[in-house]
């Protein structure tokens, strides 16, 4: 899931309001804690909510020259529209993680390939008490599969951004994602 | 330990302004520059500065000019539609030799265009938006780090040369976030405007020293002075004498020409043994550099010249590098090739000039450029 220069190109896609940019920023900040170079770019329409939205994150041990993802290694798709858009990337080697709670599995089965990873992110988020942590659960899975950063770095950033019960729920979501990816749930 | 943060281009511009000592912001929000204003609103009160939300962009520059003349380091930020409204009072700032920084985060146009998408089609407006014989300094940051560094530079130039400096960013660099180690206080030298040393009764606000720059007293100080947008003499009072007009217009231009080499900033990459020169600025710099790296892997000897100072135009730097190559490629997000036209003036008709232009609101990619290099 990475190239020779230790570069990860990540796309977090879904609809506006799903916290994709915030997740991207936190992922980037976690990588900075490990001394990595980070670039984060956003693409959204004029509306703040609804419609296709995506956040791009690039993590590298070398200078990142171009501002946008060119060959994604890791893609998170939280809506059917975003999965549909990025599905062709799976055959170019990108690992695509999608939410089976929100996306009809029959749609994906037609395209089943090795690089597709479906998990019930939103269902598990609801079990934790808030659908809003679905993206953190997803990051928990993606970190485990790619080893792009350490869980401890991500936890540190979550505790910096949130406080009290919200922080605990987000940290719990991160490690729930780890277990989910390891097949323990 | 270094203070490395994941910081957005617009946030870096606001942080750079504070680092440079800015203590006055007046503005009217507009995408994709709004975060500069939001940051200014948050930070200004903490550093003892003043933040004002104005009724429009005309008033914003009026307030900035007034604040600067009262001794503040003043700035504002906008995008195309707002920048159009600012031209009249920017002209006043040129004529009155008022140090100030105006940031325009370019977006796709014309008019309100694609409000959230990038463009680089305001290069000529930045140079010629005001009527009359006038000149400004304009800088284009190509990364988040340069958003910070060139904002500090913009304030330093404005203070040193007593004129408005335009920081011409674009939506791509303004909204990207990059890991950036914020310079510690004192790491970058800061320039303060030259103050009068003569007694108040001998002070003339437009009497330049040998370096072409006249000291500027603050309104409200013991120096009582007059600043006018109409043609004026060294004392600042109206003067219709043709000889005086020549002196005045020459002065506005010569203070930039005298210090041209200090003002014109460029960077070059991979220029050794090149036979194709790729010229980019602002957001396209990254694409140019990535394209050239890829092209070299394919055996094409290409190099990059990044224009950081866009006005005054880096003619000498381009001329020097163009001598070494067969082809020059100019990469920019506009239809007409606004910088390509200037490059053509510099290199003449002997050298092949290719253009890569995109004006659909999407960023130019390394692939777009490689196609042209083949």
Q: Is residue B255 part of a domain?
A: no
- We report the CATH number of the domain holding residue B314 as 3.40.50.920
Optimal mutation site among A25, A36, A66, A69, interface B, most CBs of chain B within 10 A: A66
Q: How far apart are the first and last CA of chain B?
A: 45
What pLDDT, in 10s, does the model give residues B221-279? 999 999 999 999 999 999 999 999 999 999 999 999 999 999 999 999 999 999 999 99
Nearest alpha carbon to residue B99 among B157, B54, B37:
B157
pLDDT of A110 over the 60 cut: no
Question: What's the CATH code, domain A8-181?
Answer: 3.40.920.10
Q: What is the pLDDT of residue B367?
A: 95
Q: Measure the CA–CA gap between B298 and B306, rounded to whole angstroms.
A: 22
Q: Is residue B256 part of a domain?
A: no
- Does A39 contact chain B (CB < 8 Å)? yes
pLDDT of B372 over the 60 cut: yes
pLDDT of A78 over the 70 cut: yes
Nearest alpha carbon to residue B346 among B326, B310, B372, B320:
B320
Q: Are residues B29 and B165 in the same domain?
A: yes
**Domain-ending residue, one of B162, B181, B200:** B181
Q: Where are the domains of chain A?
A: 8-181
- Mean pLDDT of all residues in B63-82: 98
What pLDDT, in 10s, does the model give residues B138-180? 999 999 999 999 999 999 999 999 999 999 999 999 999 999 9
Q: What is the pLDDT of residue B39?
A: 98
**How many Cα atoms are found within 13 Å in the side-chain-facing hemisphere of B100?**
33
pLDDT of A96 over the 80 cut: yes
Q: What is the pLDDT of residue A105?
A: 65
Min distance B290 CA to chain A CA atoms (Å): 6
Q: What is the pLDDT of residue B1?
A: 62
Confidence category of residue A182, pLDDT binned at 50, 70, 90: very high
- Mean pLDDT of all residues in B211-222: 97
Min distance B119 CA to chain A CA atoms (Å): 15
- Does B290 contact chain A (CB < 8 Å)? yes
Please name the member of B6, B116, B363 whose beta carbon is closest to the beta carbon of A67: B363
Min distance B11 CA to chain A CA atoms (Å): 14
Which residues, other chains included, contact A106 with Cβ-Cβ below 8 Å and sequence gap of 6+? none
Q: What is the pLDDT of residue A107?
A: 60
Please name the member of A38, A44, A65 whose beta carbon is closest to the beta carbon of B179: A38
Q: Chain B partners of A38 at a C-beta cutoff of 8 Å?
A: 6, 177-179
Taking CB atoms and an 8 Å cut-off, how many pairs form between chains A and B?
56
pLDDT of A50 over the 60 cut: no
pLDDT above 90 covers what percent of chain B?
A: 99
Q: What is the pLDDT of residue B288?
A: 98
Structure-model confidence comparison of residues A35 and A43, the more confident one = A35
Which residues, other chains included, contact A166 with Cβ-Cβ below 8 Å and sequence gap of 6+? none
Q: Are residues B162 and B311 in the same domain?
A: no
Q: Which of A91-95, B99-103, B150-154, B345-349 shows the lowest mean pLDDT across its residues?
A: A91-95
What pLDDT, in 10s, does the model give residues A115-167? 899 999 999 999 999 999 999 999 999 999 999 999 999 999 999 999 999 99
pLDDT of A46 over the 50 cut: no
Q: Measure the CA–CA gap between A162 and B217, rounded to whole angstroms.
A: 49
pLDDT of A75 over the 80 cut: yes
Which residues, other chains included, contact A157 with Cβ-Cβ below 8 Å and sequence gap of 6+? A26, A29, A30, A33
Structure tokens at B249: 């217009």
Cite the beta strand spans of A26-114 per DSSP E: 37-43, 52-60, 74-77, 95-99
Q: Which helix (H) or strand (E) holds A107?
A: helix A105-109
Average of per-residue pLDDT values in chain A: 89
Q: What is the pLDDT of residue A153?
A: 98
Q: What is the pLDDT of residue A48?
A: 47
Bridge-based pairing of strands B114-118 and B100-108 is antiparallel
Contact in structure between A133 and A161 (CB atoms under 8 Å): no
Q: Chain B partners of A39 at a C-beta cutoff of 8 Å?
A: 176-179
Contact in structure between B270 and B324 (CB atoms under 8 Å): no
Confidence category of residue A102, pLDDT binned at 50, 70, 90: confident
Confidence category of residue A43, pLDDT binned at 50, 70, 90: low
Q: Chain A partners of B6 at a C-beta cutoff of 8 Å?
A: 25, 28-29, 32, 38, 40
Q: Are residues B292 and B177 in the same domain?
A: no
**Domain-ending residue, one of B150, B181, B212:** B181
- Does A68 contact chain B (CB < 8 Å)? yes
Q: Chain B partners of A58 at a C-beta cutoff of 8 Å?
A: none
Q: Are residues B29 and B172 in the same domain?
A: yes
Min distance A119 CA to chain B CA atoms (Å): 29
Q: Is A38 helix (H, G, I), strand (E, B) or coil?
A: strand
Q: What is the pLDDT of residue A109?
A: 58
Please name the member of A38, A45, A65 whose beta carbon is closest to the beta carbon of B6: A38
Confidence category of residue A47, pLDDT binned at 50, 70, 90: very low
What pLDDT, in 10s, does the model give residues A167-177? 999 999 999 99
Q: Is residue B220 part of a domain?
A: no
Question: A66–B365: do the CB atoms touch at under 8 Å?
Answer: yes
Q: What is the pLDDT of residue B215?
A: 98
Q: How many domains does chain B have?
A: 2
Question: A67–B173: do the CB atoms touch at under 8 Å?
Answer: yes
**Domain-ending residue, one of B145, B164, B181:** B181
Q: Is residue B229 part of a domain?
A: no
Q: Are residues B165 and B53 in the same domain?
A: yes
- Does B360 contact chain A (CB < 8 Å)? no
Please name the member of B6, B175, B293 whose beta carbon is closest to the beta carbon of A42: B175
Q: Which helix (H) or strand (E) holds B91?
A: helix B80-95
| Structural domain of B31 | 4-181
Q: Are residues B42 and B166 in the same domain?
A: yes
Task: Classify residue A5 by its DSSP letter.
Answer: T
- Mean pLDDT of all residues in B295-304: 97
Q: What is the pLDDT of residue B9?
A: 98
- Mean pLDDT of all residues in B89-97: 98
- We report the CATH number of the domain holding residue B164 as 3.40.50.970
Q: Chain B partners of A37 at a C-beta cutoff of 8 Å?
A: 178-179
Q: Are residues B177 and B300 in the same domain?
A: no
């Amino acid at each position: 899931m990475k190239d020779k220069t230790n570069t990860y190109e990540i796309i977090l896609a879904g609809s506006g309001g799903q916290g994709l940019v915030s997740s991207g920023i936190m992922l980037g900040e976690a990588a900075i804690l490990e001394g990595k170079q980070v670039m984060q770019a956003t693409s959204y329409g004029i509306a703040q909510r609804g419609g296709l939205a995506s956040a791009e994150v690039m993590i590298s041990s070398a200078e990142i020259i171009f501002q946008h993802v060119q060959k994604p290694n890791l893609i998170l798709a939280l809506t059917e529209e975003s999965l549909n858009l990025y599905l062709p990337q799976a055959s170019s080697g990108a690992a695509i993680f999608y939410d089976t709670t929100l996306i009809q599995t029959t749609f994906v089965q037609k395209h089943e390939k090795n690089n597709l990873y479906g998990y019930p992110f939103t269902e598990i988020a609801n079990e934790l008490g808030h659908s809003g942590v679905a993206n953190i659960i997803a990051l928990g899975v993606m970190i485990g599969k790619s080893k792009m950063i350490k869980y401890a770095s991500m936890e540190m950033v979550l505790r910096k951004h949130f406080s009290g019960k919200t922080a605990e729920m987000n940290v719990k979501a991160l490690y729930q994602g780890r277990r989910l990816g390891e097949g323990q749930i | 330990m270094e203070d490395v943060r994941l910081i957005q281009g617009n946030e870096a511009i606001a942080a750079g302004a504070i680092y440079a000592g800015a203590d006055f912001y007046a503005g009217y929000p507009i995408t994709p520059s709004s975060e500069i204003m939001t940051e200014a609103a948050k930070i200004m009160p903490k550093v003892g500065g003043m933040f004002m939300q104005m009724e429009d962009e005309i008033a914003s520059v009026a307030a900035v000019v007034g604040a600067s003349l009262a001794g503040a380091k003043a700035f504002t930020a906008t995008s195309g539609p707002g920048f159009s409204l600012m031209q009249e009072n920017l002209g006043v700032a040129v004529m009155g030799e008022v140090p100030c920084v105006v940031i325009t985060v370019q977006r796709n146009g014309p008019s309100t265009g694609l409000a959230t998408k990038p463009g680089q089609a305001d290069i000529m407006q930045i140079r010629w938006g005001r009527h009359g014989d006038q000149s400004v300094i304009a800088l284009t940051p190509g990364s988040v780090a340069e958003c910070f560094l060139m904002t500090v530079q913009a304030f330093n130039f404005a203070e040193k040369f007593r004129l408005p400096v335009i920081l011409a960013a674009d939506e791509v660099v303004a909204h990207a976030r990059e890991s950036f180690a914020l310079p510690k206080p004192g790491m970058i030298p800061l320039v303060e405007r030259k103050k009068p040393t003569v007694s108040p009764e001998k002070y003339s606000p437009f009497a330049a020293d040998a370096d072409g720059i006249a000291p500027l007293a603050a309104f409200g100080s013991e120096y009582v002075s007059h600043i006018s947008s109409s043609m004026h003499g060294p004392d600042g009072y109206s003067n219709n004498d043709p000889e005086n007009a020549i002196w005045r217009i020459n002065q506005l231009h010569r203070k930039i020409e005298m210090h041209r080499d200090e003002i014109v900033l460029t960077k070059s990459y991979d220029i050794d043994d090149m036979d194709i020169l790729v010229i980019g600025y602002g957001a396209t710099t990254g694409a140019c550099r990535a394209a050239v790296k890829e092209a070299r892997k394919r055996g094409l000897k290409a190099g990059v010249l990044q224009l950081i100072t866009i006005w005054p135009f880096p003619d000498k730097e381009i001329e020097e590098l163009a001598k070494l190559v067969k082809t020059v490629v100019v990469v920019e997000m506009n239809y007409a090739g606004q910088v390509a036209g200037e490059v053509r003036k510099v290199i003449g008709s002997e050298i092949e000039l290719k253009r890569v232009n995109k004006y659909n609101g999407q960023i130019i990619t390394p692939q777009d450029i490689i196609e042209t290099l083949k």
